[in-house]
Amino acid sequence: MEKKIMLTGDRPTGRLHIGHYFGSLKNRVKMQDEVDECYILVADVQALTDNFNNPEKVRKNVREVVIDYLSVGIDPEKVTIYIQSMIPEVAELTVFYSNLVTIARLERNPTVKTEIAQKKELFGESVTYGFLGYPVSQAADITAFDATIVPVGEDQQPLIEQCREIVRKFNSIYGEVLREPEAYLSETKRIKGLDGNEKMGKSLGNAIYLSDSEEEINKKVMSAVTDPSRIKKDDKGNPDICMVAYYHNLFSTKEECENVCAECKAGTRGCVACKKQLAKNIADTLKPMREKRAYYEAHPELVDEILIKGTEKARKKAKEVMAKVKKAMKLDYFDQ
């Protein structure tokens, strides 16, 4: 039987929020018990593609993201957590793959296209080679570990598709060496922001972080967008256009959701009471994560140890795959 290998990662540009949790962290925690090997990379090289002018930010967030992983229950005994830049084989593979991708194809990648449009301020009229090419480096991330399953949010699907194309192209030229990965998407689609924006994001200022305190959660929930036509407490509301109702569906029991919606529609429950209940449920759900975070924050040496061990193990694996790639590409000059 072919081994099931999971690999995924995040750019360390900020702490992770509940959008990340429902989008893929939850799946990763589940998958760590279901696959043969599990890798999670902290994508510092990728983070630099759109933060090359801010290395301090990337560096600082590497540990923050790792602590987020640990706090949601990623188990370092089961999952190899490593730093992308410390695996030079991945950079090497990126160079080899760059011959197998056209610029036009990269420019058509929907994820890259959207991101470029969002980053006008950084890139002006012309995007960097590194940013345009990050799908190639992501394909290297995935294939350097023979990964078959990639749990990611929906927005990442075009990157997995592009990786599959690179794999097929590579194999058709150099022989069947690489494995085609599959995206593993969550049932909950992308989580909307507190302001009703389709995306929850750091730069959008509409996110609830896994590490937010009870007070922060309260404050944020109180600011969430509700049915704008509901002005007085006993006006009848429409939960379908209310972000509070939307998050109740994620954090409250089915019964609570039904009650809250029925009372909103009847105008018998005001928004403040509804928000208080939601804030409490979110705070309760995130409490164990906050506690775990506090533990690791008090023991930074444990975080470092996890990263050092993980990176060592990851490097070993990437070297094995690299040897196969070089052989296939006739670059194994002195190995015969």
**CA Rg, the chain, in Å?**
22
Q: Which residue has the tokens 């192209």?
A: 169
Sole window of 2-10, 212-220, 253-261, 274-282 interacting with ligand TRP (rule: CB under 6 A) = 2-10
Does position 14 interact with ligand TRP (CB under 6 A)? The reply is: no
Does position 141 interact with ligand TRP (CB under 6 A)? The reply is: yes
**Residue 217 beta carbon to ligand TRP: minimum distance, rounded to whole angstroms:** 24
Total interface residues for ligand TRP by CB under 6 A: 14
- In terms of Cβ atoms closer than 10 Å to its own Cβ (0-12, 13-18, 19+), residue 316 is exposed
Whether 181 and 168 have beta carbons less than 8 Å apart is answered as: no
Whether 141 and 7 have beta carbons less than 8 Å apart is answered as: yes
Does position 150 interact with ligand TRP (CB under 6 A)? The reply is: yes
Residue 206: φ, ψ to 5°: -125, 30
**Residue 84 beta carbon to ligand TRP: minimum distance, rounded to whole angstroms:** 7
Does position 83 interact with ligand TRP (CB under 6 A)? The reply is: no
Does position 279 interact with ligand TRP (CB under 6 A)? The reply is: no
Sole window of 7-15, 93-101, 213-221, 293-301 interacting with ligand TRP (rule: CB under 6 A) = 7-15
Does position 152 interact with ligand TRP (CB under 6 A)? The reply is: yes
**Residue 263 beta carbon to ligand TRP: minimum distance, rounded to whole angstroms:** 39
Residue of the chain from 43, 185, 279, 325 that contacts ligand TRP (CB under 6 A) = 43
Does position 212 interact with ligand TRP (CB under 6 A)? The reply is: no
Residue of the chain from 9, 19, 23, 310 that contacts ligand TRP (CB under 6 A) = 9
Antiparallel, parallel or unpaired: β 5-10 and 37-42:
parallel
* 80, containing H or E segment: strand 80-83
Amino acid identity of residue 234, one-letter, is: D
Residue of the chain from 71, 138, 162, 211 that contacts ligand TRP (CB under 6 A) = 138
Q: Which residue is nearest to ligand TRP (CB)?
A: 43
Which positions ≥6 away from 94 have C-beta within 8 Å?
133, 136, 137, 140
- The answer for 63, left when phi > 0, alpha when psi is -120 to 50, beta otherwise, is alpha
Does position 50 interact with ligand TRP (CB under 6 A)? The reply is: no
The helix/strand/coil state of 110 is: helix
Does position 27 interact with ligand TRP (CB under 6 A)? The reply is: no
Give me the half-sphere count of Cα atoms (radius 13 Å) on the Cβ side of residue 128.
14
Chain residues in the site for ligand TRP (CB under 6 A):
7-11, 41, 43, 46, 138, 141-142, 150, 152, 156
